[in-house]
Amino acid sequence: MSDEKTTTHFGYQQVPVHEKASRVRAVFDSVADRYDLMNDLMSLGIHRLWKRQAVELAGLRRGQRVLDLAAGTGDLCERFAGIVGADGQVVFTDINAAMLGRGRDRLTDSGLVGNLYYALANAETLPFVSDHFDCVTIAFGLRNVTHKQHALDEMFRVLRPGGRALILEFSQPVAAPLRRVYDLYSFTVLPALGKFIVKDADSYRYLAESIRMHPDQETLRAMMEQSGFERCDFFNLSGGIVAIHRGYKL
């Protein structure tokens, strides 16, 4: 029998808690070079619409400070930097050095400098002062965190009073027929794409499994409330395949 205090899930596997972060890191080391291409192929480009909706819900204004966790190749940061302007601050973080480097190179090549800062950081132990950011976001990253509640606690801590957190993440389709189609797609098409594009079917099999192990919409909202967030709500996109959760520090 596995000990919940010493093991956690990595997809459908149970692994020692101290190993999960390194296993997740290995997944993203493997896919970093083709990450953007795979996102477009897997979602048929719809991930761009999901991220656009998250940016709109963030409600950012010029001069505000934003922290983006698990920022990947910087899709959200790129948009945030333009909104908050030269007087604002966007902090791009990722636990994976390969993803952080790729994102930094991409944004630098795009000419985005000045209000963008980069940090290699674990969402569970953020190296930032309390009550600092107007908005904290994490897109398609929370499901990979070992202790999700710790990450939510940290997001709450670094937000200033009046600030808000947004979590864009794969979730649970609301209709049974959609769930069946989605399962078929996830466990057959995704690994096949991974094998063909990045020569790595296992990483995309993990992706499908990690989505199923992630808390559903109502459970994640309750977890946010446990961390202290108020006025928590969520917005289902694409029938619940993806959801955006939002909560405020009041």
The reply, when asked if residue 137 is annotated as ligand binding, is no
CA distance readout (Å), 140 to 176, 210, 243 = 23, 11, 10
Question: In the numeric block, which tokens belong to residue 165?
Answer: 């957190």
Q: How many CB atoms lie within 10 A of CB 30?
A: 18
Q: Is 73 annotated as a binding residue?
A: yes
Backbone angles phi, psi at 73, to 5 degrees: -100, 10
Strand bridging mode 242-248 / 230-237: antiparallel
Q: Is 219 annotated as a binding residue?
A: no
- Number of other CB atoms surrounding residue 248 within 10 Å: 18
- Annotate 105-161 with three-state secondary structure: HHHHHCCCCCCEEEEECCCCCCCCCCCCEEEEEEECCHHHCCCHHHHHHHHHHHEEE
| Count of other CB atoms within 10 angstroms of residue 78 | 21
Annotated binding-site positions for S-adenosyl-L-methionine = 73, 94, 122-123
Annotated binding-site positions = 73, 94, 122-123
